[in-house]
Chains A and B, each alone.
Chain A
């Protein structure tokens, strides 16, 4: 088991290094000179050259990478070309907003998704099951950004119940009720597809164990239905649930790119899209690196959770 963990950690290091290399190369391939974007079309060659020196853009590309990596390892992600502030500060601020949104969506998707999946499985092949699964199939087919637009049209523009954009009102006190009101629509848009995926997988997972002998035994010896469901059925679908948790957490982080764009949510996703369109290399690199790093850590946590949940894996 220790050997497995060490191997797993080594893989994390390799993956993070590859990610950093990929991010670096990919952003350097981008057409367009960031110095020209900054200075505008009337910049002289001298001004451009000066800026290239300031940002190290005149160095050979492998020199740029090594120096960039060195700075990152020291916690210095550079300075945003467009915003003139440290990338780390900007990214950290944006990441907080994204975490709020992703966490809210995850909460909604998992609580509702598992509930729906369980209900469908326990009433398998009934009208309720068929109805829930038909809705779930429709749910996994929804384009999340379109759901966002429709929700804005319905609840912000027509009914005027909820704000359409932003995270906090400019005029409001910025308290929890204000945040909550802004959170509702983006959370639903982001949660709807994972919710349907989780419902379908939970149903399949429950159906796999519901006819096992130990479940029949538990029922036969007169345990209350709730104890059977929670202690015997749900407990043995945990591995499957953790798998989904890892996958969906990563997807939610990336899915925020679309949802944040639709709702002008001040998170990493909308920042990345803007940074790409503005050719703000340092900001793109910092943002992508952070998201990819978090994603890798979520996957690592998932694998360690497996070990904890499934004793068989510990001795394999």
Chain B
């Protein structure tokens, strides 16, 4: 995400030139093994998380003090148990539901709010643009982790408040990205044509501008989701996110931190989960970006 901001968000606002007409998605995937691999990781984790209630797992919150800090494979714990004897595999999958849900909702909120600001600023320009973007500048004047922490501090620790904080912090990134993309198309012939036909501003924005900025936005969301997952885990890790007994990947890391000496796997496993999911999302984001911008792909791979 930071990387996207750094590359000045000159997202290509063209209509999927990487996919010539007549070629299905299957061929596109077959020619991109890395993208397929990333997609597979993400889908696997999302599916396991979605299926957690029907999988034969122990209750993630049932404690068994006699079998605490079991190693992987011991006592029927596939990934071992934590300091209260809770099944790590079960907590990992149930925790995935929390982490993924928070990241998705936060991304949706930031996308809608930031996207609306960016579209209005980019489309109308002038005073509207100036006022909206100066507000965004102020929001960006805060180092974003700090702003999230300050907001959570104000609202009180908790998963919902962490979600709000993370969404607010990411609005500025979407606003800037969408504005840059809108600036590219707002003088395009198809926008002029729609205006000449007498279409209203709202119609032009939603039916002409939005579809043409959607593909680069998809790349943006994919790469941003990874950052959101890390941010959510981070807030939970320092005690400002999910509260016990709710398991999310961040609180699991915090739990494991206290037993690094005797049971390092308790801290290691949730971190691997975060890494795998974020890695998968980043691979997919990179792959999609290359598909959308063949010139970049040519130099990049």
Please report A residues at the B interface, Cβ cutoff 8 Å: 11, 14-15, 18-19, 22-23, 26-27, 29-31, 124-125, 137-138, 140-143, 145-146, 149-150, 152-153, 157, 197, 200-201, 204, 207-208, 240, 243-244, 247-248, 250-251, 253-255, 257-258, 261-262, 272-273, 276-277, 284, 288, 291-292, 295-296, 299
In the bound assembly, the distance between CA atoms of A137 and B146 in angstroms comes to 25
Binds A, one of B46-54, B64-72, B254-262: B254-262
**Cβ-defined contact, A299 with B153, below 8 A:** no
Asked whether A153 and B264 contact (CB < 8 A) given A141-B279, A143-B230, A261-B238, the answer is: yes
Selected from A11, A15, A204, A291, the residue in CB contact (under 8 A) with B300 is A204
- What are 20 sample pairs from A and B whose C-beta atoms fall under 8 A apart? A11-B134, A15-B137, A15-B138, A27-B153, A137-B279, A137-B286, A141-B275, A142-B278, A145-B234, A146-B267, A146-B275, A149-B256, A197-B3, A200-B3, A201-B3, A253-B146, A254-B143, A258-B238, A273-B149, A284-B153
In the bound assembly, the distance between CA atoms of A44 and B238 in angstroms comes to 32
Asked whether A18 and B275 contact (CB < 8 A) given A137-B282, A257-B145, the answer is: no
B161 to chain A, nearest CB (A): 10
Selected from A152, A197, A273, the residue in CB contact (under 8 A) with B238 is A273
**Cβ-defined contact, A201 with B7, below 8 A:** yes
Asked whether A153 and B145 contact (CB < 8 A) given A143-B275, A201-B6, the answer is: no
Task: Report how many residues on chain B are interfacial, defined by Cβ distance under 8 Å.
Answer: 52
Given contacts A14-B134, A14-B138, A153-B267, 4 further A-B contacts (CB under 8 A): A140-B3, A204-B7, A244-B6, A251-B143
**Cβ-defined contact, A30 with B275, below 8 A:** no
Does chain A have a CB within 8 A of B142? yes
Chain B CB within 10 Å, residue with most, of A142, A152, A276: A276
Does chain A have a CB within 8 A of B274? yes
Asked whether A250 and B153 contact (CB < 8 A) given A149-B260, A207-B299, the answer is: no
In the bound assembly, the distance between CA atoms of A261 and B236 in angstroms comes to 13
**Cβ-defined contact, A243 with B149, below 8 A:** no
In the assembled complex, which residues on chain A have CB atoms less than 8 Å from the CB atom of B267?
Answer: 146, 149-150, 153
Please report B residues at the A interface, Cβ cutoff 8 Å: 2-3, 5-8, 134, 137-138, 141-146, 149-156, 226, 230, 233-234, 237-240, 253, 256-257, 260-261, 264, 267-268, 270-271, 274-275, 278-279, 281-283, 286, 299-301
In the bound assembly, the distance between CA atoms of A121 and B268 in angstroms comes to 34
Asked whether A145 and B141 contact (CB < 8 A) given A137-B282, A157-B264, A200-B3, the answer is: no
Sorted from nearest, which 6 A-B pairs have the closest CB atoms? A146-B271, A254-B143, A254-B145, A141-B279, A141-B278, A276-B153
In the assembled complex, which residues on chain A have CB atoms less than 8 Å from the CB atom of B138?
Answer: 14-15, 18-19
Selected from B143, B238, B283, the residue in CB contact (under 8 A) with A250 is B143
A306 to chain B, nearest CB (A): 12
In the assembled complex, which residues on chain B have CB atoms less than 8 Å from the CB atom of A30?
Answer: 153-154, 156
B210 to chain A, nearest CB (A): 28
